[in-house]
Structure 1
């Protein structure tokens, strides 16, 4: 097995690696859902400050998901080909 920065036959180089936008989108949506649910649970338990903090993190995750989706659309318009979850 050759030792190098990337397996042979894969797209990308050490100078220009392939993107992880799809994985980043999944993680942003997961963060939004988890933070939203926990914020609601904390509000119902009477812990407002931690609830607001988690609501803020949920907004950050939602903004990240929007930015990632815009970048994915731009990549699709550029015709970069088919992408899996990890590229």
Structure 2
């Protein structure tokens, strides 16, 4: 999958993007924080299997944050310094 501002074959244009990258970034960061905190609490309580599951979800959130940042940078290169709201 190309990591440009907009995936190939998706609806939307540069002016009206398909994926709200800023909202995805906020939600991924929230998921990372929540999963990390709950994972640490579960490890301290002695529940290792659920702790590892939440740690894996936190890792997935970090990977999502990296992909989102790559796409945001590509969008910035194509559109210039235009400000984007949370929902675009």
Question: TM-score range with shorter-chain normalisation?
Answer: 0.7 to 0.9
Displacement of 1:71 after TM fit? Answer: 0.3
* Aligned equivalent of 1:30: 30
* Aligned equivalent of 1:84: 85
Listed one character per residue, the Cα deviations across residues 39-72 of structure 1 (whole Å, up to 9, x for unaligned) are 0000000000000000000000000001001100
Runs of 4+ in 1 over 6 A off after TM superposition: none
Aligned residue pairs total 73
* In structure 2, C-alpha distance between the alignment counterparts of 1:29 and 1:66, rounded to whole Å: 11
Displacement of 1:82 after TM fit? Answer: 2.0
* Aligned equivalent of 2:21: 21
* In structure 2, C-alpha distance between the alignment counterparts of 1:27 and 1:42, rounded to whole Å: 22
Displacement of 1:35 after TM fit? Answer: 0.1
Greater Rg by CA: 1
Q: How does 1:1-87 map to 2 (within 5 A)?
A: 15-16=11-12, 17-18=16-17, 19-79=19-79, 81-87=82-88
* In structure 1, C-alpha distance between the alignment counterparts of 2:69 and 2:25, rounded to whole Å: 7
Provide TM-score, normalisation by structure 1: 0.79
RMSD: 1.2
Which 5+ residue runs of structure 1 have no aligned equivalent?
1-14
